[in-house]
Amino acid sequence: MNVEDYIADAPLSARGILARAFSGESRAAAIKAKCLTCSNYERAEAAGCRVFTCPLHPYRPYRRPWEQGGTPEPAVKGGLSAIQGAVDAELSDAGATSVPAAPSAENINGAGVAARAGFGEE
C-alpha cells in the first residue's frame, strides 16, 4: 500500500493531518498522526492514552487542559520500576502472581540477550 492509498483509507477527519505528517512539514503533525492511528482515529482515546511506555506519550496531542503545559514531564515518575510496581499491585489485588521484572538496559542491549540466545558460545 502506498502513502496515497493509506491516507485515502483513513477517516475523512484524519486525512489532513496524515497528509501533513507524510509531507514532512511538521513534527507535531507526525506525532498527532501516530497517536491518531494508534488510537484508531479516536481523539478522546489519544487524549486519555495510558500507554506510558510509548516514547511519544509526553508529547501526545489532545491532552486535557490540566495536562497542558510547557516542558513535558516524564510519563511515569520512577520509570519502568514504577510501572512494574503498579502492575504487581493490580495483579496481587486480583489474586494473580507477579509478572517478570522489566529487562535492564544491559539485558536489552548487552551480553544478556546474546547469552540467552546462545550467541557467543564456543
- In tens digits, the chain (122 residues) has pLDDT values of 899 999 999 999 999 999 999 999 889 999 999 999 999 999 888 888 888 898 988 888 877 655 555 444 445 555 556 666 666 777 776 665 555 555 554 545 444 444 444 544 44
SS3 for the chain is: CCHHHHHHHCCHHHHHHHHHHHHCCCHHHHHHHHHHHHCCCCHHHHHCCCCCCCCCHHHCCCCCHHHCCCCCCCCCCCHHHHHHHHHHHHHHHCCCCCCCCCCCHHHHHCHHHHHHHCCCCC
pLDDT of residue 96: 59
